[in-house]
Amino acid sequence: MTRRATKRGPARTSLDGTRVDVLVCGASFAGLAVARELAGAGADVLVVDRYEIGERATSACAAPTPWLHAMGVERSIRQELPFMTFTTPHGSVRYRLPWSWAAFDYRELCELLWEQCGEVRFETATVEGRGVDGAAANGGSSLPAEGLTVRTDRGTLHARFVVDALGWKRVLASRHYQPPDAPLSRGLEVHPHVTGSDDALDVWVERSIVRRGYGWRVPDGGEARVGVGSYDPRRHVKEPTVALARRLEVDPVRYQGNWFPHRLRPAAQDGVFYVGDSAGHCFALSGEGIRTAFYFGIACGRELGAALAGERRPEEALRRYASFSAAHARAFGLALRLQRVIPALPPRMLTLALRAMGSSQPMIDRSFGWYLDQAHPSFAQRPAVERPVPVAA
């Protein structure tokens, strides 16, 4: 495995003036998926992140098991969860899914992805924003021949292509979201050690816990990830997270929290490719963003690979990737509508609906099958011949 040394103190040398073919900003799920796709492209690819790869987890670390196998990171799985339970004030319903969730170790998953990145390089650097370049000056109508520039705390970097996979802040954009006045949800979880284990991912939809949102528990062998997410960014979630942990008789220890988007944003703007949370690639309602980070990261990497190989003009690659992302607006929009409707349902009506669905395994299979289809793991399999990336009509 390629080892990286996090540079600190006197060893934190300047990167000013560094020039590469592709600069990937962000070394979590989305950024590593892009870099993985560019392995063997024969290009100079640099990934930068504030933290060492795998150093700082920012999610509940649960994803559909088929996706982890498709990405070759199944060794990171800590526990497979073939069931989901949904609890309201009026009862609980347990579903057997047509596929399973898997709780995984964040550091190990990231390191396994990095092993697949070949000659891609990595440096620790905090990305501060865009430098002055032709694409910024002309509004992104074309990519300048001299490339794009990105400012970091280790100097200004130059690249033919730049990817922003830095999360909801969309650091390289000219305009930024500012919570709480933004289409963002907020989540917080604790990580207590537990004895025994369960085989279900548990979800609570109870207004006494959070008015508009849900609580969760993800078993992970000897640990449980217990948290609360609020669709209303003005609602703080520490108190309900602590209350849920105590209700489950576990200690509220080792906190981890973050904002996460619930609306798509343009996936290409001012010459930059945006992937993962920076493009809003996180399903509303469920708040799931890991497999979509993989999915859109792969799509972005394939378009970049085609441009690097001279198969497409850079502007065409940018346009095609943006269109590919926008073509998913219908599914993301449906999830957002459900996010608005479900918390408003009377609790008894919601309970009856959950029970009716749970009484029919074919209905569960169809519903969760549709959900997985919106970013299906088969997309991760590298085609033997080029498969055109679909574009919106």
Is position 327 within any domain? yes
**Euclidean distance between CA atoms 40 and 304, whole angstroms:** 13
- Structural domain contains residue 189: yes
> What's the total number of domains in the chain?
2
Predicted confidence at residue 122, as pLDDT, reads 98
pLDDT greater than 70 at residue 108: yes
Dist CA 167 CA 275 (whole Å): 8
Distances (CA, A) of 210 to 74, 189, 262, 282, 343: 33, 14, 17, 20, 10
350 alpha carbon, distance to own chain's centre: 28
308/337 same-domain check: yes
Taking the complete model, does pTM exceed 0.75, yes or no? Answer: yes
Residue 79's pLDDT is: 95
Q: Can you give the CATH number for the domain in which 76 is found?
A: 3.30.9
Give the pLDDT of residue 380: 95
Q: Which amino acid is at 141?
A: S
Per-chain mean pLDDT for the chain: 91
Higher pLDDT, 179 or 62: 62
Task: Please write the tens of the pLDDT for every residue from 211-226.
Answer: 999 999 999 988 999 9
Residue type, 247: R
At 84-97, the pLDDT tens digits run 999 999 999 999 99
Q: Which domain CATH number covers 144?
A: 3.50.50.60
- Which amino acid type is present at position 316? E
Cα-Cα-Cα-Cα torsion 165, 49, 29, 172, nearest 10 degrees, comes to -10
Q: Report the percent of the chain where pLDDT is more than 90.
A: 84
Check if the beta carbon of residue 336 is closer than 8 Å to that of residue 284: yes
Phi, psi of 278 (to 5 degrees): -65, -20
In a domain, 390, yes or no: no
Q: Is 389 within a domain? A: no
What's the pLDDT at 147?
87
Claim to verify: residue 275 and residue 376 sit in the same structural domain: no
Question: What is the C-alpha separation between 383 and 385, in angstroms, rounded?
Answer: 5
H or E stretch at 160:
strand 155-164
Q: Under a CB-based contact definition with an 8 Å cutoff, are residues 187 and 237 in contact?
A: yes
Are 70 and 130 within one domain?
A: no
- Asked if 252 and 289 sit in the same domain, the reply is no
- Quick one: pLDDT band at residue 390, thresholds 50, 70, 90? very low
Are 264 and 258 a contacting pair, CB within 8 Å? no
Percentage of residues in the chain with pLDDT exceeding 70? 91
Residues in contact with 308: Cβ distance below 8 Å, sequence separation at least 6, in sequence order: 21, 22, 38, 41, 42, 43, 161
Domain that holds residue 365: 62-104+184-261+345-382
Residue 204 phi/psi, 5-degree rounding, is -115, 125
In this structure, the answer to whether residues 243 and 121 fall within a common structural domain is no
Under the banding of pLDDT at 50, 70 and 90, the label for residue 142 is low
Specify whether 23 is located in the same domain as 142. yes
User: CA-CA distance, 273 to 343, in Å (whole number)?
Assistant: 34
34 with 147, same domain: the answer is yes
- Show the tokens assigned to 366: 């169809």
Asked whether residue 393 is assigned to any structural domain, the reply reads no
CA distances from 372 to 83, 177, 377, 379 (A): 15, 29, 8, 12
Return the DSSP state at 193: B
12: Cβ contacts below 8 Å, ≥ 6 apart: 124, 154
